């Protein structure tokens, strides 16, 4: 029986490598044109992608997925469908304004009127793109103090853009038939999860999905740190952007409620920008094959988390990463395919452009950035089918094909 006929929540994701059947993307939009050199650090970017080329590259990515059997849905369309009812639209607008950091009530009122004047599609795009001061009229009349306050601040935005949205992997994660809604590490990205909250609360297809984590929690958890290694084992990175307390909460919820997952392997990785998430240094490409950045092999500690008598038991693992994976995934052998091979120069360069951030679309079949030619060749030599996509602009955001995709449905392996 096809997976789709068995779905009750619109989600079915029990591995990293099952044939990809449905995936959510976000095509980069006007939010990239609201990046400015002065505020790159604030918005978590190192450079400014050229939107026209970034969109063409992203379209090539989406087409690659379609040609290999995946239905592609877009975040903007899901949000637009979610807010078809007037009361849901208004609820999203008010919460969006709450989280935009607006302190001036006059500005908030004008922005509410500005957003309410838009049709749904334009509203969603504007929320994502941010609002420039030059976009809004309405201060010509009213109180002089409000007008002068509005004009005297040099910061050009009333509401910040969300340029990281094309990395759809992070705001939430689909696990089994449920979803983990995340509290992001930074204020800049935490607003992104608002869209996920509404999709999984109101969208007619996805509103009944179980919730494994909630964006209202106090500690951060991000989707790039969550890998589903098998129908029973989940890996979670303790990283620059995912905290230990979050892993505790997440593990207890999934292990006690899901009825399928039995173990969480917590990977403690270096806390640096280049290794920001587990999937920037470690991804699964086949049943027994994994990409890995060589620098972490001696800097990683793995903890096994299992539920015993209603409580999570934690045990630090000893031995090599290969042995740990063989034991917990019940494999006879494991291949770790090193990003950049044995060259520290190639490894560092290709790591920077996400050579380890592969997206498996079937067992032993992956989508990768074409620029990481050293790692791509090694993947081929290890029997992996490689689909390359252009990435001169997309890679400026410091995320690869896995970062840019959120699987909704995979076939079981």
DSSP string, 362-397: ETTEEEEETT-HHHHHHHHHTT-EEEEE--TTGGGG
Active site annotation includes 339: no
| Spatial separation of the C-alpha atoms in residues 50 and 33, rounded to whole Å | 8
| Spatial separation of the C-alpha atoms in residues 355 and 369, rounded to whole Å | 7
DSSP string, 313-366: EEEE--S-HHHHHHHHHT-S--EEEETTTT-HHHHHHHHHTTTT--EEEETTEE
Phi-psi region of 10 (alpha: psi -120 to 50; beta: other; left: phi over 0): left
Are 161 and 394 in contact, with CB atoms under 8 Å apart? no
* C-alpha distances out from residue 194 to 148, 190, 247, Å: 32, 8, 21
* C-alpha distances out from residue 216 to 65, 102, 162, 183, 240, Å: 33, 20, 19, 7, 19
Q: Which of 117, 115, 144, 142 is nearest to 131 (CA)?
A: 115
* C-alpha distances out from residue 154 to 48, 132, 134, 143, 361, Å: 21, 12, 12, 20, 46
**Which residues are marked as active site?**
403
């Amino acid at each position: 029986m096809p997976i789709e006929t068995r779905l009750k929540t619109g989600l079915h994701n029990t591995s990293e490598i099952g044939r990809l059947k449905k995936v959510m993307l976000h095509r980069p939009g006007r939010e990239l044109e609201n990046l400015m050199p002065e505020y790159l650090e604030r918005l978590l970017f190192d450079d400014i992608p050229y939107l026209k080329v970034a969109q063409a590259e992203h379209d090539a990515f989406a087409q690659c997925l379609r040609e290999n059997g995946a239905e592609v849905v877009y975040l903007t369309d899901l949000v637009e469908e979610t807010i078809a009812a007037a009361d849901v639209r208004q609820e999203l607008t008010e919460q969006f304004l709450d989280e935009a950091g607006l302190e001036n009530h006059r500005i908030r009122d004008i922005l509410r009127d500005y957003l309410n004047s838009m049709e749904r599609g334009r509203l969603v795009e504007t929320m994502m793109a941010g609002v420039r001061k030059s976009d809004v009229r309405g201060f010509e009349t009213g109180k002089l103090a409000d007008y002068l306050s509005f004009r005297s601040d040099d910061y050009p935005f009333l509401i910040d853009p969300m340029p990281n949205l094309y990395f759809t992997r992070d705001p939430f994660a689909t696990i089994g038939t449920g979803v983990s809604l995340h509290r992001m590490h930074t204020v800049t990205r935490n607003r992104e999860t608002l869209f996920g909250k509404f999709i999984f609360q109101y969208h007619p297809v996805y509103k009944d999905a179980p919730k494994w984590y909630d964006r209202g929690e106090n500690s951060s958890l991000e989707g790039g740190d969550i890998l589903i290694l098998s129908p029973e084992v989940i890996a979670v990175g303790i990283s620059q952007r995912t905290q230990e307390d979050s892993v505790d909460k997440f593990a207890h919820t999934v292990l006690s409620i899901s009825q399928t997952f039995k173990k969480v392997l917590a990977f403690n990785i270096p806390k640096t920008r280049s290794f920001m998430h587990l999937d920037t240094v470690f991804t699964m490409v086949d049943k027994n094959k994994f990409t890995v950045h060589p620098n972490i092999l001696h800097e990683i500690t793995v903890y096994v988390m299992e539920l015993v008598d209603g409580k999570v038991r934690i045990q630090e693992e000893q031995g090599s990463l290969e042995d740990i994976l063989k034991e917990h995934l019940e494999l006879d052998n494991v291949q770790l395919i090193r990003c950049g091979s044995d060259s520290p120069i190639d490894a560092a360069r290709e790591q920077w452009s996400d050579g380890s951030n592969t997206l498996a679309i079937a067992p032993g079949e992956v989508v990768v950035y074409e620029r990481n030619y050293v790692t791509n060749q090694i993947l081929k030599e290890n029997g992996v089918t490689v689909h390359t996509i252009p990435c001169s602009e997309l890679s400026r955001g410091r995320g690869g094909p896995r970062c840019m995709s959120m699987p909704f449905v995979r076939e079981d392996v």
